[in-house]
Amino acid sequence: EAGVTQFPSHSVIEKGQTVTLRCDPISGHDNLYWYRRVMGKEIKFLLHFVKESKQDESGMPNNRFLAERTGGTYSTLKVQPAELEDSGVYFCASSQDPGQRQETQYFGPGTRLLVL
Amino acid sequence: GQQLNQSPQSMFIQEGEDVSMNCTSSSIFNTWLWYKQDPGEGPVLLIALYKAGELTSNGRLTAQFGITRKDSFLNISASIPSDVGIYFCAGRDNYGQNFVFGPGTRLSVLP
C-alpha cells in the first residue's frame, strides 16, 4: 500500500512568487492534515480536511495560504505571495478515524520550501 | 496555546549506550505519541500512550505516560547507528482534537 506522498520534495522561490504544494494521502483516508516545521521549532498544525471539507483551519498563518481538497482526494496548499518567513518543511498527514482513541496519523516525506 | 517542551534539544551518544529524553507540557494530555523523523523523511509513529502511568515498549524503545499527565519519557536501550534522527513527542487532550508537537530531540550516535 502506498504511503502519503508529497510533491515537490524541495522548492526554492523568490519572495513574492507563488508556490503550490501537493499531497496525496493514503487511499481511503478521509482525514488529511497539513503541518509546518520552521527550522529547529515544533511541527505546527495548519489545517485539517475531512474529505473535501475544512474541519479546522485555525493554524493557517494568514490569508496568503490557501488549501484545497477538491473531490476529497489529493490536497494542494498554495502560498501567494511567499514571504521569507514561510520557509520551512511542510508536512502532510492522513488518517482514518480522528475521533477514535487510537488514531494514527501517517506522515508524508515533506516539502522543503526555501523563500529567498 | 498549548506548548510542549522537549529535552534535551540534542544529544550525542556512543553506540551501545542507553538514551533518555522527555517531553513536558503545562497542560494535561490524554494521549501521548512519540515519532521519529529520519533525514529527508516524514515522522513515523513509534509508540502511542493512552493512560496515565502506562509503560509501553516497542523493541528497544520504551515510553511512559507520566502520572501527572503532563509529561512523557522515551528511552532507547543499546543505541545503534540507525537510531539517528529527530524524536518528536505529540499530545492532545481530547479525542478528535488536534495534536500538539514538541520541537524535537536530535539524536546522534557515534560509532
Could you tell me if A42 and B4 are in contact, meaning their C-beta atoms sit under 8 angstroms apart?
A: yes
DSSP B111: -
**What is the pLDDT, as a whole number, of residue A26?**
95
CB contact under 8 A, A99 and B95: yes
Cβ under 8 Å to A: B residues 66-105:
88, 90, 95-96, 98-104
Q: d(Cα A46, Cα A13) in Å, to the nearest integer?
A: 21
Contact B31 A4 (CB under 8 A): no
* CA closest to B31 among chain A residues: A101
* Residue B45 CB contacts under 8 Å (≥ 6 apart), including other chains: A104, A105, A106, B33, B34, B35
Residue A103 has pLDDT above 80, yes or no: no
pLDDT score at A36: 97
Of B98, B109, B90, the closest CA to residue B36 belongs to B90
For B8-36, write each residue's pLDDT tens digit. Answer: 999 999 999 999 999 999 889 999 999 99
- Tell me the three cell numbers of residue B46: 513509534
Instruction: Give the residue from B65, B100, B39, B51 showing the smallest Cα distance to A105.
Output: B100
Share of chain A above pLDDT 90, in %: 84
Calculate the alpha carbon distances from B110 to A23, B9, B13 in Å: 35, 17, 6
pLDDT > 80? residue B74:
yes
Alpha-carbon distance of B6 to A113, in angstroms, equals: 25
Residue A99 has pLDDT above 80, yes or no: no
Interface check for B106 against chain A (CB to CB < 8 A): the answer is no
pLDDT tens-digit profile of A32-84?
999 999 988 899 999 999 999 999 999 999 999 999 998 889 999 999 999 99
Contacts of A59 in chain B (CB under 8 A): 98
A–B interface: beta-carbon pairs under 8 A: 55
Query: Which chain B residues contact residue A56 at CB under 8 A?
Result: 98
Tens of pLDDT, residue by residue over B97-108, are 788 999 999 999
Q: How far apart are CA A13 and CA A113, in angstroms?
A: 8
